[in-house]
Amino acid sequence: MLVKWIRCTVVDRPGFDRGQRKWAGLLGEPGFRGQGGGWSRGRPDVAHVFTFWESRPFYDSFMARHHDRLAATQSGTFRDARAKLFDHRFDVKTGFEPRFTDADVVRVAHCRVHADRVEHFSSAQERIWNPAMAGSPGMLRGVFGEAPGNEFLVLSMWRSAAEHGKYRADRVERLALRAGTEADVAGLSGAVVDLNPSWTV
C-alpha cells in the first residue's frame, strides 16, 4: 500500500474546503483505498490530507489521467504545498484499513532517521512504540511507512483528541527514552489533525 501525505498553508479556507469535497471524484478510481484529512490543531491555517493507494502503478496512472482536473478546483486557495509518498512497512495495531469515519483526530509524525540507525529505529517502532499505542484507550489503528532517504511516517488514528492527549501526557517521554529515539532521529516534525468528515472519501 502507498500512503500520500499532503500539507499546505490555506489562504482561502471556504474555497479550499469546497474544493476538497470535490475529491469525492476519487471513488471508483482503480487502486484507490481511501482519503481523509483536516486542519492542524497547532496551526489552524495548515491543512493535512492523507490518501491511500493499493500500489504505485495505480497511483501513477491516476496522476497521469485525472489528478489535474480534480486539483484545479482548489487552485489559488493554498500555498506551500508539500506532498510525500510512503510505502507501507507495517501496521500500528493490526488490520489497518484507511477508514476515517470513526476517528476524531490523526496524529502524524514525520521522522528523518540517521542512515546507520534505520534498522534500530524500525525495530524500536515495532517492539516498543506499536504495543504502547495499540494498548492505549482510544487508539483505533495506524500505519508505519517509509520513503527514500531514510524518511518515515507514523500515522495513528484516535477516537478523540482527549484520548490522544492522555496517551501523550502519560507515556511519550518514557517510551522515547526506552526506544532510544533521540539517537535514531535526525529530524522530527508532525501534527495533530482535527479530521473534517466532509473531506473523507
Question: What confidence score (pLDDT) does residue 114 get?
Answer: 97
Question: What confidence score (pLDDT) does residue 167 get?
Answer: 83
Instruction: Report how far residue 121's alpha carbon sits from residue 117's, in angstroms, rounded to the nearest whole number.
Output: 6
Residues 6+ apart with CB under 8 A from 75: none
Q: What is the mean pLDDT of the chain?
A: 95
Burial of 195 (0-12, 13-18, 19+ CB in 10 A): buried
Q: Predicted confidence band at 8 (pLDDT cuts at 50, 70, 90)?
A: very high
pLDDT digits (tens, 9 = 90+) for 145-169: 999 999 999 999 999 999 998 887 7
Q: In the predicted model, is pLDDT for residue 196 greater than 80?
A: yes
Q: Predicted confidence band at 172 (pLDDT cuts at 50, 70, 90)?
A: confident
3-class SS of residue 183: helix
* Single-letter amino acid, residue 110: H
Name the least confident of 24-28, 95-99, 149-153, 174-178.
174-178
Q: In the predicted model, is pLDDT for residue 94 greater than 90?
A: no
pLDDT digits (tens, 9 = 90+) for 55-84: 999 999 999 999 999 999 999 999 999 999
Q: In the predicted model, is pLDDT for residue 194 greater than 80?
A: yes
pLDDT digits (tens, 9 = 90+) for 177-193: 899 999 999 999 999 99
- In 3D, which of 166, 178, 176 has the Cα closest to residue 137? 166
3-class SS of residue 55: coil
Q: Note if the pTM is more than 0.85.
A: yes
CATH number at 2-199: 3.30.70.100
Task: Answer for the pair 45, 8: CB distance below 8 angstroms, yes or no.
Answer: no
Vertex 92, ends 145 and 35: CA angle to 5°?
60
Q: Which long-range contacts (C-beta less than 8 Å, at least 24 apart) are formed by 10-17?
A: 10/45, 10/46, 10/47, 10/77, 10/78, 11/45, 11/76, 11/77, 11/78, 11/79, 12/76, 12/77, 12/78, 13/45, 13/77, 15/74, 15/76, 15/77, 16/47, 16/74, 16/77, 16/78, 17/196, 17/198
Instruction: Report how far residue 17's alpha carbon sits from residue 199's, in angstroms, rounded to the nearest whole number.
Output: 8
Q: Predicted confidence band at 173 (pLDDT cuts at 50, 70, 90)?
A: confident
Vertex 5, ends 109 and 167: CA angle to 5°?
30
Q: In the predicted model, is pLDDT for residue 32 greater than 80?
A: yes
Instruction: Report how far residue 187's alpha carbon sits from residue 109's, in angstroms, rounded to the nearest whole number.
Output: 10
Task: Answer for the pair 158, 138: CB distance below 8 angstroms, yes or no.
Answer: yes
Question: What confidence score (pLDDT) does residue 166 get?
Answer: 86
Residue spans per domain, the chain? 2-199
